[in-house]
Amino acid sequence: MKFSKIKQNDIANGIGIVMSLWTQGCPHHCRGCFNVETWDFDEGKEFTINDLNFIIENIDKNNIKRNLSILGGEPLCPQNVDGVISLCKELKGKYPEKMIYVWTGYVVEDFNENQREVLNYIDVLVDGKFEEEEKNLSIVLRGSNNQRVIDVKKYLENDKIIKLDL
């Protein structure tokens, strides 16, 4: 997995304060993307054990209880998905109570086996590409109306999309 940055305190990408990890590389190239600098797979840094430890050790820094948001870029493309699985598994192992949010340009019904594995370790999935014609600045956690904020546990239990009540 490659990433572009880790933000210690982020209030724009989650409910409350989150630590956010911005993965690097995106195959979708949505028109109007607000984050084109994360498209290039040759940019960014390799996510190492030191970065993982940084997240584990600092997620509650200064006694602030943070959740984790993973954005991009595309966290669930083949180049990044294994790293995302390891990170989420590790964080949930240490902090089961923490919520993990993941944003992806793929839609959950089309997930392959690897992408589905991520669902075992996360709480909220925001899926779908950004669509400029559907852009909406007033909706929570999303950039366009087609994107869905999915309650992952309920999705797995019921095998149908249950949107999070925000």
Chain positions contacting ligand SF4, by CB under 6 A: 26, 28-30, 33, 35, 38, 72-74, 105, 129-130
State the nearest-atom distance from the C-beta of 38 to ligand SF4, in Å.
6
Closest CA to 1 of 44, 58, 39, 30: 44
Closest of 20, 32, 118 to residue 77, by C-alpha:
118
Of 92 and 111, which has the nearer Cβ to ligand SF4? 111
Burial pattern 141-162, b for ≥16 Cβ within 10 A else e, equals: bbbbeebbbbbbeebeeeeeee
Three-state DSSP class for residue 3: strand
**What's the length of the chain?**
166
List 53's β-bridge partners, or say none.
none
Residue 16 vs 27, nearer CB to ligand SF4: 27
Q: From the CB of 79, what's the least distance to ligand SF4, in Å?
A: 13
Least distance CB 106 / ligand SF4 (angstroms): 9
DSSP 32: T
Nearer to ligand SF4, 59 or 68 (CB): 68
Q: Please say which residue, 98 or 129, places its beta carbon nearer to ligand SF4.
A: 129
* Nearest distance, CB of residue 22 and ligand SF4, angstroms: 9
**CA–CA separation, 97 and 45 (whole Å):** 29
Helix (H, G, I), strand (E, B) or coil at 38: helix
Nearer to ligand SF4, 59 or 141 (CB): 141
In the complex, least distance from residue 49 CB atom to ligand SF4, rounded to whole angstroms: 26
